[in-house]
Structure 1
């Protein structure tokens, strides 16, 4: 067990996570510019964004098994180098079919990073620092998207799309070099099971039947379903004069609350209790948004509540699973459920709004958040 946390190394692993989030974000933030490079692609351009997520849905748990088998350091460094090579290839703006193939490969690279890095962080932290370190890890998506929106989009506008892809390739290569020099392999954990289709299916059953391994992923499904759909679909209902301020404040509030109040709560209560508090408070905020449509302070309070869920969900992984192999499985399941929530949330809520109007948004999301909290309560009962 590590007695002293190497914070420079933890921050470097977090930096690698920002690169993984940018594998999603670099295309999302420039989506309106892609028709310049692919003028005849039409609706097929949507696949350039979504293919990374579909890889996560299909192979999230598999990634946890593969990473455990080939070892965490090797998996992380390989994924960073593959990510760098893919981004460099994308900088050539290849024909659309090749771009789509590269996004599938990038999805595999992304999965390996988001499974290996938090598993390594949990193992390389002193127990007292795990809550803070994994809450920091939980901010990687929000921070990366903010940086890309602030700097990546202007870079693509001023210097062209290849500049953004090449910059991302350089970033991934730098972190592969830094971590290659500093990161040591974890101790061996014995022989890992053979990877076969039957073994993968058995492991899916084992993971999702376990109230320890599956719990973080169960909550993460409802969190991602809600957070992404609210950030995507709420803006048109906000006062235009306040819209930019509210939509900027929401992700920032989520990060700040997770890093302050969330970390403080993790020092005095289990991570699962913090998640349950976050879900309950967020559901109440959605009722507030139903009673006072598009109230700005309700939006910001909602982001704060979801920030508790965000950080504590990653902190729950090592609290519920005491070895690196089951932690990798839990992180793989989180990746799978997170991608499923990201993919389903916006279209499902959009269809509800189309049929029932604005009120469908707060009421349906309130139910989803309440079910997320209930899922954790039921899994806690199963663990006891």
Structure 2
């Protein structure tokens, strides 16, 4: 067990996470510019955004298992160099088919980073600092999207879309150089089972049968289902004068609560308890929004409540699972369920709103938060039963 947290390496790994989130988000912030580049693509342009997440749905757990086998330092460095190469290729604005293929490769790079980085952060942090370091990791998506919105999109508008891809390629290469010079390999945990399809299927089933390995992912599914969909469909239901301010403040409030109140709670309570608190408060916030539609205060209360879920979920991975191999498996499941939640949330929410009107938003999102709480309660009971069984 380490005696001092390696904060410089932790921040370097978080920076790599920003690059991974940008792999997902760089197409989102320039989506309205893509029809000019690929005028014949039509509705298929959506795949340029969604393919990275689709790879995560299919291979999230596999990535966790593979990263444990090829080792964490090697995995993240290879993923960063691969991500840099893909973005450099995209600066050429290849044909639509080749661009789609590059997004699949980028999805593999993205997965390796989001599995290896939090696993390494947990190993580089003391137990008392993991609440802070893993909560910091949990902000990587929100921070990256904010940077892309404030700097990435203006860069693409001023210098063209290839300039954004080139900047991303340089950023990923810079992260790889820094981490290759500063990051040490973790101690070897011994030989992993040989890679085979049958072994992967067995490992896959073992992860989701385990109330320790699967718990963070189960909660993360319902969190991501709600978070992205709420930010996507909420704006039309807010008062005109408060709409822009509220939508800008919500992700910032979530990050701020996560890094302050969330970190303070994690020093006193188990991470799963903090996650359950976040789901409970999020459910109550949705009830508030249902009773007072469009209330900016209810929206900010909701964002703050979701911030508790955000950071504590990654801390729960390290608290429930000991050793980097188990944590990599759990992080792989989190990646898989997160991408599934991101992919399902907005279409389901949009269908509900089209069918039943504005009341569907608090009912669907509140129901998802409630199911996240129930999932954690049931898995907690399963863990207690497993620990009480005589050996």
Task: Name the TM-score class by shorter chain.
Answer: over 0.9
TM-superposed CA distance for 1:164, in Å, is 0.1
CA distance in 2: counterparts of 1:214 and 1:312, whole angstroms: 15
CA distance in 2: counterparts of 1:282 and 1:315, whole angstroms: 19
Answering whether residue 226 of structure 2 is matched by residue 226 of structure 1, we say yes
TM-superposed CA distance for 1:51, in Å, is 0.2
Q: TM-score, normalised by structure 1?
A: 0.99
TM-superposed CA distance for 1:166, in Å, is 0.2
CA distance in 2: counterparts of 1:12 and 1:338, whole angstroms: 23
CA distance in 1: counterparts of 2:24 and 2:236, whole angstroms: 24
RMSD: 0.5
Q: For structure 2, list consecutive stretches of 5 or more residues without a partner in the other structure.
A: 385-391
Partner of 1:187: 187
TM-superposed CA distance for 1:214, in Å, is 0.3
TM-superposed CA distance for 1:273, in Å, is 0.3
Answering whether residue 50 of structure 2 is matched by residue 47 of structure 1, we say no
TM-superposed CA distance for 1:8, in Å, is 1.1
Partner of 1:320: 320
Answering whether residue 131 of structure 2 is matched by residue 131 of structure 1, we say yes
CA distance in 1: counterparts of 2:59 and 2:152, whole angstroms: 29
CA distance in 1: counterparts of 2:127 and 2:268, whole angstroms: 14
Q: TM-score, normalised by structure 2?
A: 0.98
Question: Deviation string for 1:40-60 (max 9, x for gaps)?
Answer: 111010000000000000000
TM-superposed CA distance for 1:36, in Å, is 1.4
TM-superposed CA distance for 1:257, in Å, is 0.2
CA distance in 2: counterparts of 1:249 and 1:3, whole angstroms: 38
CA distance in 2: counterparts of 1:298 and 1:55, whole angstroms: 35
Where 1:184 maps in the other structure, the secondary structure is: coil
CA distance in 1: counterparts of 2:126 and 2:371, whole angstroms: 33
Partner of 2:272: 272
CA distance in 1: counterparts of 2:96 and 2:359, whole angstroms: 40
Partner of 2:343: 343
Q: For structure 1, list consecutive stretches of 5 or more residues without a partner in the other structure.
A: none
Aligned positions of 1:1-384 closer than 5 A? 1-384=1-384
CA distance in 2: counterparts of 1:369 and 1:6, whole angstroms: 35
Where 2:269 maps in the other structure, the secondary structure is: coil
Aligned length: 384
Question: Deviation string for 1:99-127 (max 9, x for gaps)?
Answer: 00000000000000000000000001111
TM-superposed CA distance for 1:197, in Å, is 1.1
Question: Deviation string for 1:28-78 (max 9, x for gaps)?
Answer: 100001111111111010000000000000000000010000000000000
CA distance in 2: counterparts of 1:349 and 1:200, whole angstroms: 33
Runs ≥4 in structure 1, deviation > 2 angstroms? Answer: none
